[in-house]
Amino acid sequence: MKKLTLKFGGTSVGTIEQIRKVANIVKKRHDDGNQIIVIVSAMAGATNKLMSNSKSISKNFDSKELDVLISSGEQVSSSLLSGALIDLGIKARSWQGWQIPILTDDNYNSSKILNIKTDEILKFISDRGVAVISGFQGISEKSRITTLGRGGSDLSAVAIAKFFETDACEIYTDVEGILTTDPNIDKNAKKIDKISYEEMLEMASLGAKVMQPSAVQASMIDNIPIHVRSTFLEKSGTKIISESEIDHKKVVTGIAYSKNNAKVSIIGVIDKPGVAADVFEPIGKNNVNIDMVIQNTSLDGKTANITFTIKQGDLNKTLSIIEKNKNKINYNKITHNDKLAKVSIIGAGMIASPGVTYKMFRSLANENINILAISTSEIKISVLIQEELTQKAVKILHKTFELN
């Protein structure tokens, strides 16, 4: 007998028919003699709808009320799934985050889980009950409802696996597992059998929506293996495990992309110590995340240009921060471009293989794709390109690195 955490994403509980399908999967695992804790997301599209309702009320909808609102989709799906299980003759019950409780900090809209009380649910599952927990939500010490960031049911699942010490953490979704790239962009995307926490964290952070980055980070810290698999195909999926258990046959494991990037160039700043800090300090203090940075010096060595990338949604705010600090920063002019994408190749195999960088750049050049900025780490190379070239770039890199 094993204790299992099974998480079903919004795309797996999007319709009543799908909820019945999920109930049958849970029943089968339960009939095999396992103790089961299920985490559910809201029905596909529900959270987006709630978000847009809040925006119709106000552009600056109160963050605490937003969490009350957007956590409600999971209450619906958890009760529907529990009801479906009861209908199949299984003892089942839903729990909302506050009922357990799942205690979080009070960083509304992207809270961290601090603790989960386990005794009541442990008793319930040891009495052959199936516990169905609403993902994405918790409660702060001040007894206010919190949420864990978009896609946060993945993080709920990892935390449940940790606090309940379950034998497995399975993430059921609408694709076969982690694929070499987004199947919506390249239909040649192939399932990856095993991927390391580090590679998965890069893939997720660089745009692969299939796992929430914070969930991957949490699983890496606590060494909790994850099995990402399909709700709709009875097949083994992808194991996210530690690097030491993987034999890298390929240099590149996967390709990720993110759209909606913007680039800002500050032209003609004085080239002296402290200037980059003067530029980035007010931007950082206003909670804008800076991604790539390039600085180049003019021929006379007296002035420099500082270029950086941010999310498109932060562009206007960033431009006005720079404008406000014009006296301190002292520049000639600013240029910007807000229709850019970042395309990245990821793979721990790169560490031992020289020539990956040139191969990436050459294959993009052959397709006439201009690179506007570059950033690298040991296991990834990212390039900034025009947004409309995203699909072309992903496809050619997928082919170049033999992932087709």
Q: Applying CB under 5 A, which residues contact Mg ion?
A: 9, 151
Q: CB-wise, 158 or 306, nearer to ligand ADP?
A: 158
- The runs of H, that is alpha helices, within 104-223 are 119-126, 153-163, 197-205, 213-221
Give one word for 132, left, alpha or beta, with left for phi > 0 and alpha for psi -120 to 50.
beta
In whole angstroms, the minimum distance from the beta carbon of 135 to Mg ion comes to: 9
What does the block give as tokens for 83? 């009801």
**Which residue of the chain is nearest ligand ADP when measured via CB?**
9
Q: Which residues, listed in sequence order, are joined to residue 3 by a DSSP beta bridge? A: 35
208 binds, among ligand ADP, ligand ASP, Mg ion, none (CB under 5 to 8 A by kind): ligand ADP
Return d(Cα 151, Cα 107) in angstroms, integer: 16
| Contacts of ligand ADP in 181-220 (CB under 6 A) | 181-184, 208-210
Helices (H), 32-169: 46-57, 63-70, 72-87, 119-126, 153-163
Which of these segments, 3-11, 68-76, 129-137, 161-169, binds ligand ADP (CB under 6 A)? 3-11
Q: Where are the beta strands (DSSP E) in 141-211?
A: 145-147, 168-173, 194-196
In the region spanning residues 115 to 174, those forming contacts with ligand ASP, defined by CB under 6 A, are: 135-136, 150-154
Cβ–Cβ under 8 Å, residues 214 and 135? no
Window 26-55: contact mask with ligand ADP (x via CB under 6 A): ---------------x--------------
11 binds ligand ADP (CB under 6 A): yes
For the bound state, the minimum distance from the C-beta of residue 206 to ligand ADP, rounded and expressed in Å, comes to: 10
Six-digit token string for 301: 């060595």
Distance in angstroms (rounded) separating the CA atoms of residues 148 and 44: 17
- Residue 12 DSSP class: G
CB of 184 to ligand ASP, least distance (A): 17
Please, which residue, 263 or 342, has the CB nearer to ligand ADP?
342
Q: Which of 9, 97, 135, 237 binds ligand ADP (CB under 6 A)?
A: 9
Asked whether 147 and 111 are in contact (CB, 8 A), the reply is yes
Distance, CA of 57 to CA of 223 (rounded, Å): 42
175 binds ligand ADP (CB under 6 A): yes
Residue 352, sorted as left (phi over 0), alpha (psi -120 to 50) or beta, turns out to be: alpha
The nearest distance, CB 1 to ligand ADP, in angstroms, is 27
* Interacting residues toward ligand ASP by CB under 6 A: 9-10, 41-42, 47, 73, 135-136, 150-154
Binding residues (CB under 6 A) for ligand ADP: these are 9-12, 41, 151, 173-175, 178-179, 181-184, 208-210, 254
